[in-house]
Amino acid sequence: MSINWPLSFAAFLTVVGMGGTTSAYAADAAILSNNNGSVASPSLQVQTDAPVDPKSLGIKGLNIGLPGPTDTIDPDLGGARSELAKAGIGYIGMSLNNFYDNTLPHAFAPTHAQQLYNGQNFTASSQNFMFVTYDLSRFGIPDGQIVVAAGESDYTWNAGGPSRFGLTMATYYQTFLNRTFELKLGYIDNAWEFVGANVGGSLASSVFGPAGSIIYQGGQNNANVPTPGVIFKYNIDDHFYDKATAQRSVSPDGQVAEVKANLNAVDWTVPNAGVLYLNEFGYKRDAAPFAPQMWVRAGAAYNTSNYNNKEIPGTRTEGNSFSYLLVDRQLWQNVPVQGSAGRGIYAGFSVMYAPPELNTISLYYEGRLYGKGLLNSRPDDMISLVLTDTVFSKYLVEQALLNNKLAHTDSKAITLSYSAHLARGVYGSLGLSYVDHPTSVTYTPTTGNALNAVVGLNVFW
């Protein structure tokens, strides 16, 4: 997808005066010639000369929290960030690293090729992304922004990844009618736009677990496998919203197949992949003194891709779907300390469904209890307890039993973790996760359960 097309689209919207401040500029009607004969708008000259706060150049439209410039390992090294901000350019880089190891003695698999779950052998993953933003509001486009990013991912267990290098994001964003409507299009990352599956709502302090498996098997893209698409959000009022997307589906055979067919993530199509349509309706209230945080979101999706049929092996069926409901609420907040309304105790739950005839995971349940900044000396730390139940397709279970294999209907887990803000731009997490039936559907008499020690290290610059 060319970056020039969204710019032309934005320019067209400015001329016709759609929404926000652009109509005021269009109403001027007069376009003046400058000294070298080219044309320029008086408002354009004023806006491009205005100073820009680096904090305003973060990625817009996301439903996940990312650290600001002051919470990076290089807030303004050599004044570079401030100088780039004068030209409307911002950036954020990140390295997201996770390590899993089953501490139970029976876990070891002879080779990674024979590995069946995270931690069966020592398992490591590293995702490294660099995002560059460009401010278009200086040209009279309300909240206008272009984002371009590349990324590199490495996994010791390919099924958990897979490893690749290529495009991560290339988007155009703007708002209309005083931010009532938001538009984003390009190569998008819907994992940071919909559902909000990360406990605590922040990428820096997110904890570990299988949350999101149903939406990913349903074709939703993410930073590792971005695909072309468009996002449209209607902010009904200060709290209620409706958000929809149409994106090219990730391969219905999974992310490994997607990367194998589209290594650099720039291809428009891959075999058997169609279009994923997703709509999310929600209510979101940020924490304020004596007004606890609350976020309720419900979504439904339809995917036109051709999926392997679990009920009739060897056949493919067009038209998959999934749905979800997630609720999080702050139960207690630390209001006596100024600016600490977000600190406190939270609880939440998730329920997700996908039809068992087309999906390995049919149901997913999650309950969570977590605390943010419970210690005055550690205001940015978080502790969480997460319980999950992943239910597998009844057709896969039936077929395994008919073939005289051992099979289980679900996999339950309980995870306790602590995330600490170690230094400016550096977050570390330590967790312990017990998993009953850690493999998918089938197992052997020696598989046993898993007690994974989980370590995370996230660095932002």
Residue 282 CA: distances (Å) to CA of 62, 324, 345, 367: 14, 12, 21, 19
Output the six-digit token pair for 443: 């197992």
Residue with token string 């070298």: 36
pLDDT at position 80: 93
Please give the DSSP secondary-structure letter assigned to residue 16.
H
In this structure, of 38-42, 59-63, 414-418, 455-459, the range with the lowest mean pLDDT score is 38-42
pLDDT at position 344: 95
Alpha helices in 303-411 (DSSP H): 394-402
Decide if pLDDT at 66 tops 60: yes
Output the six-digit token pair for 84: 């780039």
Of all residues in the chain, the percent with pLDDT exceeding 90 is: 74
Decide if pLDDT at 119 tops 80: yes
Decide if pLDDT at 13 tops 80: no
Instruction: Compute the distance between CA of residue 242 and CA of residue 352 in angstroms, rounded to an integer.
Output: 19
* Confidence band of 362 (pLDDT split at 50, 70, 90): very high
Mapping DSSP to helix (H, G, I), strand (E, B) and coil, where does residue 121 land?
Answer: coil
Q: Do β-strands 123-135 and 89-102 pair in parallel, antiparallel, or remain unpaired?
A: antiparallel
Decide if pLDDT at 108 tops 80: no
pLDDT at position 211: 54
* Confidence band of 357 (pLDDT split at 50, 70, 90): very high
Give the number of other CB atoms < 10 A from CB of residue 21.
Answer: 17
Give the number of other CB atoms < 10 A from CB of residue 73.
Answer: 13
Instruction: Compute the distance between CA of residue 86 and CA of residue 90 in angstroms, rounded to an integer.
Output: 9
* Domain spans of the chain, in order of start: 4-460
Output the six-digit token pair for 352: 């997700």
pLDDT at position 1: 37
> Rounded mean pLDDT of 384-389?
95
> Rounded mean pLDDT of 290-305?
96
* Confidence band of 272 (pLDDT split at 50, 70, 90): very high
Decide if pLDDT at 24 tops 90: no
pLDDT at position 155: 92
Average pLDDT, the chain: 87
pLDDT at position 114: 85
The 10s digit of each residue's pLDDT in 416-443 is 999 999 999 999 999 999 999 999 999 9
pLDDT at position 338: 66
Mapping DSSP to helix (H, G, I), strand (E, B) and coil, where does residue 70 land?
Answer: helix
Give the number of other CB atoms < 10 A from CB of residue 377.
Answer: 6
pLDDT at position 209: 52
Question: What torsion do the CA atoms of 257, 260, 264, 270 make, to the nearest 10 degrees?
Answer: -60
Residue 395 CA: distances (Å) to CA of 292, 302, 357, 362: 43, 21, 7, 10
The 10s digit of each residue's pLDDT in 160-183 is 778 999 999 999 999 999 999 999
pLDDT at position 203: 76
Instruction: Compute the distance between CA of residue 33 and CA of residue 38 in angstroms, rounded to an integer.
Output: 6
> Rounded mean pLDDT of 105-116?
81
Decide if pLDDT at 20 tops 80: no
Instruction: Compute the distance between CA of residue 437 and CA of residue 351 in angstroms, rounded to an integer.
Output: 20
> Rounded mean pLDDT of 72-79?
92
CATH number of 4-460: 2.40.160.180
pLDDT at position 28: 34
Of all residues in the chain, the percent with pLDDT exceeding 70 is: 86
**For residues 201 and 348, is the Cβ–Cβ distance under 8 A?**
no
Residues 6+ apart with CB under 8 A from 145: 57, 59, 60, 133, 134, 135, 136, 137, 172, 173, 174
> Rounded mean pLDDT of 43-65?
74
> Rounded mean pLDDT of 138-164?
92
Q: Do β-strands 123-135 and 344-353 pair in parallel, antiparallel, or remain unpaired?
A: unpaired
Decide if pLDDT at 237 tops 70: yes
* Confidence band of 219 (pLDDT split at 50, 70, 90): very high
Instruction: Compute the distance between CA of residue 243 and CA of residue 106 in angstroms, rounded to an integer.
Output: 46
